[in-house]
Structure 1
Amino acid sequence: MEPLPVSYSKMKQTKLVLPPDTNHLDTIFGGKVLAFIDEIAALTAMKHSNAAVVTASIDSVDFLSSAKVGDALTLEAFVTRTGRSSMEVFVKVYADDLLQRKKELTTESFLTMVAVDQYGKPIPVPRVVPESEEEKRLYDTAPARKEHRKNRSLLR
């Protein structure tokens, strides 16, 4: 299987924050942001693997700031590293106040997605080749995050 550059499956999505998406403070519900993150991670992993995928874990979610009604949420995702059938996906979320021309990083998240066949059985995925400095740094630090996930699952 031929390795693929990160840029091959990198995705970007924009969503408008509407009143039903927000709490009593007019900021977006964290669960809504999580749903957007899971969706773009799945799309990115599907493009990389050319297969259906399932979410194996949402490894971390750091809410750094909030988005409010009227903001445009921009989600960016890419595969940072792959295993035999798994893909670690990094997602960044920005809030764009389009009227004030202000953009702020609101959320960062790592997810693990697994490529599956029509029976739900894991299937092999292509390796990923990092290109930018950020991609190389995340590629190099992925084994430590994988070890952390493994240790976390041993606590069950």
Structure 2
Amino acid sequence: MPTNLLDSYIENREMVQPNHANSLETAHGGNVVKWMDEVGGMAAMRFAGETCVTARMDRVDFKRPIEVGDTALIEAYVYAAGTSSVRVRVQTYRENPRTAETEQTADSYFIYVAIDEDRNTVEVPDLVVDSEREEQLRQQALAGENGDY
């Protein structure tokens, strides 16, 4: 079971189709939040080695839209862990599928709780941050969580 910050890193892509779009032909915010929650949950489960459920989501800052035909690239990693909870930063980017050009479109912070098969909370491992890159990511997440971004 990974306990390092970078070991929890997950990314996923969704091609934005017309059925994901609003009347402006851009990704509907609800779809983007759903994708963010799914990828964030995967990062939490990879870290915890347990099923994790969403306990809290801070605000989602939508910075720009994702057009139909572009790819939504969602990145998530664990940046802090409590006794049974895991804090995950989730960032979304618009990605041009032909050029791989990206620009950030949304940012949020989720908290997941690890549970067993009886849905009781279980302990998660301590987060290990032992590289300069991991510390940089952790500090960026902590600053953003407090609205300092």
Structure 2: which amino acid aligns with 1:38?
D
What is the match of residue 127 of structure 2? 128
What is the match of residue 76 of structure 1? 75
Shift of residue 100, structure 1, vs aligned partner: 5.7
Matches within 5 A, 1:92-111: 92-99=91-98, 102-111=101-110
Residues 2, 47 of structure 2: 8 Å contact kept: no
Matches within 5 A, 1:45-56: 45-56=44-55
User: CA–CA distance in 2 between the matches of 1:102 and 1:120?
Assistant: 42
Identify the structure with the greater strand proportion. 1
Shift of residue 118, structure 1, vs aligned partner: 1.1
5+ residue gaps, structure 1, are 146-156
Moved more, 5-14 or 132-141: 132-141
Structure 2: which amino acid aligns with 1:34?
V
TM-score w.r.t. the length of structure 1 is: 0.84
Matches within 5 A, 1:1-156: 4-99=3-98, 102-130=101-129, 131=131, 132=133, 133-138=135-140, 141=143, 145=146
User: CA–CA distance in 1 between the matches of 2:47 and 2:70?
Assistant: 29
SS in 2 for 1:33: helix
SS in 1 for 2:83: coil
Aligned length: 143
User: CA–CA distance in 2 between the matches of 1:104 and 1:138?
Assistant: 18
Residues 85, 123 of structure 1: 8 Å contact kept: yes
SS in 2 for 1:105: strand
Give the aligned CA root-mean-square deviation in angstroms: 2.0
Shift of residue 7, structure 1, vs aligned partner: 1.3
User: CA–CA distance in 1 between the matches of 2:24 and 2:101?
Assistant: 20
Structure 1: which amino acid aligns with 2:78?
V
* Percent of aligned pairs sharing the same letter: 30
Shift of residue 99, structure 1, vs aligned partner: 3.8
Moved more, 46-55 or 91-100: 91-100
Change (3 A) 1:135 1:25: same
Identify the structure with the greater helix proportion. 1
Shift of residue 3, structure 1, vs aligned partner: 7.8
Shift of residue 136, structure 1, vs aligned partner: 3.3
1:18-63, Cα deviation, whole Å (9 max, x unpaired): 0000011101000000100110011111110000111001112110
TM-score w.r.t. the length of structure 2 is: 0.87
